Chains A and B, each alone.
Chain A
């Protein structure tokens, strides 16, 4: 009898399994494909590896600005792909050793829930007190004529291309679409992005995304916003603009980056009566599903499709499973887009604050206030925007654009978790010279 069986070894599942294992619980982790999940194998990690190569290339192109005479950089795409594999395998080894250290039993295969206490893998049955469903998500396929054409790729396919495409149309300007747009554009591909909404990365503060849009356009990426793709054929991609006119673009490949959908099939949800809908498995803030003893975390719940959210949700569920009290809070979830310039944000956007009619103050400053930013970024711009409560100056949201943003946003998450105000943060010493000083400056200017 196990204390916990986890379905899915992504960042939600493997972290939860290891955590429960460290608590001394008897844990099994079932995975049918990848240890580390989409994130480590065909998501966050490989894309960040490729993007780093793009950033190196970008720096080489700009080397003269920093007093280094340039040599003409050349792309060795097979080395780039190999490095991606090396990074992945190194990190997977790390996960495997963590699981081993925590005493988690790894079971390879497809897990199927028979009852709330029995999970089968193939013909073998495993008995357990708790089940954590962490089966993740996959690329959603929108109902567009011709979406199944061979030139339409998803994020997994495009990572495995053995050459740089001449031209690429990306459907969807969310984080995934934008990161691939940045990467392939930097690699020399002609990139066009078609987005149904009138803004890119709609979950991010609009003032910040407008700077990102400008910056990506300056790099040569074409954007067609407020445009709906209607048909894909060998003639090209037809889309309808906001004004109702239909146009067509043609490219070597098409990337479907319209969104993701939860992996709900073949788990046994209907058999044991776990409540779910097309968005995902319904859970409460403790990770409980509608069936007692059955828990869920990560993308499969459809709450917030981010690896770090999945991890926290899994740990919250484990704590509650074994007698602790822990609740998921979603108000301080950091969000990063790994383009250059990088975007990072946490907390409420100005649009959300206005929608909820919260009394607020705002301040936006240039990252050029930071000595380090100026030293390291020749003629580049970046901003940090602070949103604070109107009465108590508590931090409501921090939104940044500029390289290094993703590395320092966790500090802002701390401010939000502790509900700190401008006055509290004035007392914190920030290292000099760093880009983070711009955050402090922006906060301290709020009266």
Chain B
């Protein structure tokens, strides 16, 4: 009598085995199995073996596997569950109670990039991957451009001249120098160098929608006043978002200026396939020994990034030195009658 009663009880218990436990048994029969110690731990801690990866032979689940699982993946707290549903991302840590994922282990969902930002990201990344860029820096005495700027400022109301600023002057000096260095005013595409006769001078422009790089076409044909006006027109169009797509393409050399914000030095990234780009930095005082005295003289710093695949250090340096000379002697190249 007693024996048969026991049997009945056993069959009833078998019926009650929850789904989770059934998969455990299944797993045991098809894989390398589960070590008795691991099984004991799993039963004691109510862990389903389904999600545990075995590190033993044929994927046998060992005690250390299940302990590691228990300590790292037992679930998440109530708040963490809500946040995960809202798209929060797991950072990979488990700092909650009994190894749960807690609020502190999650980060807010990231923001998708705008179309323009995404384009910039791709362009910048590929520039760094596909080129061998390096940057060299020089300082140019700034008294020539500063005194000209002062003159323009004082006469702007009486004469009909545009408000030519330091950036315009440096861009004009770049154009005047580039004429003699066609290898710098070039593009490198699929193993071939294309030197450009025309200087299409691109300049980086900070707009509410992100970085834009308008292009002044045939800059070598423009006077300082014309260049200044062209730059102003394109900047305004870029800022207000009405710039024509044509004015954003075809550049052969790029300048970028964050010196007006006080940046003393930076390494601009090439606007590839162009082989060179100039970073214009701030104007700062520099102690210079003249005779037995030290004088403080204003200098502007210029950082030239070039692609070493096609331009070596010496030619890049020669261009930058020539540019410096033109800036230091700007009045003679400006041809401005005021």
Contacts and interface: CB of A to CB of B under 8 A. Distances in A.
A binds B: yes
A389 B79 CA distance: 10
Contacts of A325: 71-72, 99
Nearest to B101: A419
A421 B71 contact: no
A304 interface: no
B37 to A, nearest CB: 14
B119 to A, nearest CB: 34
A329 interface: yes
Contact of A392 (B71, B82, B100): B82
Interface residues of A, number: 13
B77 A418 contact: yes
A265 B72 CA distance: 39
Contacts of A197: none
Interface string B55-93: 000000000000100011000011110110000000000
Contacts of A420: 77-79
A324 B71 contact: yes
B99 A417 contact: no
Contact of B79 (A324, A327, A329, A421): A421
Contacts of A417: 77, 96-97
A252 interface: no
Given A324-B71, A419-B102, A419-B103, A329 B78 contact: no
B96 A421 contact: no
B95 interface: yes
B147 to A, nearest CB: 51
A394 interface: yes
A419 B71 contact: no
Contacts of B82: 392, 421
Given A324-B71, A325-B72, A392-B82, A419 B77 contact: yes
A419 B79 contact: yes
A394 B78 contact: yes
A417 to B, nearest CB: 4
A167 B99 CA distance: 52
Contact of A327 (B77, B80, B83, B95): B95
A212 B21 CA distance: 54
Contact of A418 (B72, B95, B97, B99): B97
A325 B83 CA distance: 25
Interface in A419-433: 419-421, 424
Nearest to A395: B79
A424 B78 contact: yes
Nearest to B102: A419
A420 B102 CA distance: 11
Nearest to A325: B71
Contacts of B71: 324-325
B78 A419 contact: yes
Contacts of A394: 78-79, 103
Nearest to B82: A392
Of listed B77, B99, B103, residue having the most chain A CB within 10 A: B77
Nearest to A415: B78
A329 B97 CA distance: 9
A420 B96 CA distance: 12
A424 B78 CA distance: 8
Contacts of A419: 77-80, 96, 102-103
Contacts of B79: 389, 392, 394, 419-421
Contacts of B103: 394, 419
A262 B165 CA distance: 65
Contacts of B99: 325
Contacts of B80: 419
Nearest to B79: A419
Nearest to B99: A325
Interface string B189-205: 00000000000000000
Q: Shortest 10 CB-CB distances between A and B: which pairs? A: A419-B79, A419-B77, A394-B79, A417-B97, A420-B78, A325-B71, A424-B78, A418-B77, A392-B82, A419-B78
Given A324-B67, A329-B96, A421-B82, 13 more contacts: A325-B71, A389-B79, A417-B77, A417-B96, A418-B78, A419-B77, A419-B78, A419-B80, A419-B96, A420-B77, A420-B79, A421-B78, A424-B78
9 contacts: A325-B99, A392-B79, A392-B83, A394-B78, A419-B79, A419-B102, A421-B78, A421-B82, A424-B78
